[in-house]
Structure 1
Amino acid sequence: MSWLVSSKILPPFFRGEPPRTGMNCNQPVCWRVLVGDEHIGWAVSQAVPGAEGSTELHSRVKLDNVPLARMAPRWMSTVIDNIGPLELDMRSRTTLDSLGNLSVFETNVTVNDLPSAILMKGTVDEGKIRLRLQYGEVVHRLDYPWPEHAQLGGKLTPDAKLLQVYTGRKWQKEVYNPFGGPQGAIEVIEAEVVGEEALLMNGELCNTRKIEFRSTDTTGVSSEDRRRSVVWVDEEGYVVRQEINLMDVLLRFDRESESATAEIAPELLQLDEYATLSPKERAEAAATSH
């Protein structure tokens, strides 16, 4: 339980197989979110023990003064029309069973004072992920094929680590996007480690490997328009930066220090309210897993 691994540990250099992702259980990760040089909010995630040997990954993205009118697809116009800069609060919980396989995920998006502007819930059952999507008062139900041991990532939640990343490596993964509408709620994206790059992070030069994520749908779309995000991973496998193209806005996620994360994460995640187990039960479960 000391590591969250969202796929089975398979031969790490098998071409096309995703790299292992990991998060130290009970250790939060926090990201400063920027548009250009303007700090607009935070993203934070943490894995904790769940019921019956499961693991829960809790994440929250809380943004202020977001130019969402530029970011939102047309189908959301009735929700956000003429309300200017927005506050966006997206809270997610992903549950992995005792074998590390995806079981359930839930996402709740609040825009300004509109509670539950978007609700998304997915349950894995008999080789399918069954989705319930609610946008305002409109509900959609969809089924997607779901391979055993497949990874699921969130469009606005960076991975904490990507292990054994090297130039030229390629893989695919599924990403859920609550802003994608019924047809784009889950998208298969392809990743490629395109090279190495030095970044200035917190005043120090950091050697990284640069990964580009693109849509696998090439129909009438340029290579640039297919790009969904860019990730920079340091030499120890920690994701230090991620840039996400969300409609016409480029969001940048810069990883915070452990000391800053320790102050920010508890207030944002509110695990005592949102985690399945109580603090005492989580501590007991973590202790018995070692």
Structure 2
Amino acid sequence: MDGRARRRLAVALAVLGGLLALGLAVSLFPYHTINHDEGVYLQQASLLLRGRLFLHPPVADAFRPWFFVDGARGLYAKYAPYPAVLYAAGTALGNARLALFAVGAAVVGLTYLLGVEIRDRTVGLLAAGFVLVSPLFVVDAATFLPYAPVAALNLGFAVAYLRAERTGKTGWAALAGALVGAAFFSRPYTAVLFALPFVAHAAWTLGRARSALRAAIAERRRPRSRAAASPPPPSACVGCSSRSGTTATSRGARSSSPIRPSRRTTVSGSARTPSAGTATTTRPRWPCAPTPSSSGVSSRAGSRAVSSEARSPPSAS
């Protein structure tokens, strides 16, 4: 079964969950259950549809609905208005039981999405199927009580939290906070028990991020070693290049050899000839200096010898 078929099966299970809740509400509980809280939520939904939050009976102290509190501004319902808002929307669409269909479909569908976030689509389908046949879900989804609507909020919070953890997007994190806040507003104890493992995971994740940030700051403030802090030594070729340039210009010769051999010159009287004599002078080596050609050296040596003989006086013999 491919991914598209599994998604279609998940949608079918969600719709079946909504139809099951609607069918049981009509057939099994046509006059509601013996739980008087249903009347409180339906009365509160009727007040919201008329744009009112307080109930004013025609005869004071002669009529008081179940679980309504007598306040300075009138009677108001004891419970949070979240389930009443859903039932008011269903009543506005034609029948309050339409809200039961939406809640049942949402619980099954969000269970599938939670299984997908935890493992894969196969696990999501199995989880949705188990919820669909659960007697607790079947009964609660068919009544005008807050258990199934708050379960839908908690499941939505779990899906949004895990998706925010996986993708790192702020929007999913904000949605998770809004959903768990609405669940806490409706049933605080249930919301706290459900969200407690997620809060522990969030605290552990923040602790790890804080430790990593401290380690990064300490690494940045740590002094560098001498090898890393001191600049690299200048290359010998920098000085050699300037010397080689001047040498080549003055002598009028440039060689392609990267190493210049040492030049030894024999001093004999007033004439210097490049031969193997007794007195030698050695010039320093420059690694990058060009090596003059042998013909240039010999020609200059010969010209120097001729000029020195011309300047010297003739011998007595």
Which TM bucket (shorter chain)? under 0.3
Q: Which has the higher helix share?
A: 2
What TM-score, normalized to structure 1? 0.22
What TM-score, normalized to structure 2? 0.20
- Higher RCO structure, 1 or 2 (CA under 8 Å, sep 6+): 1
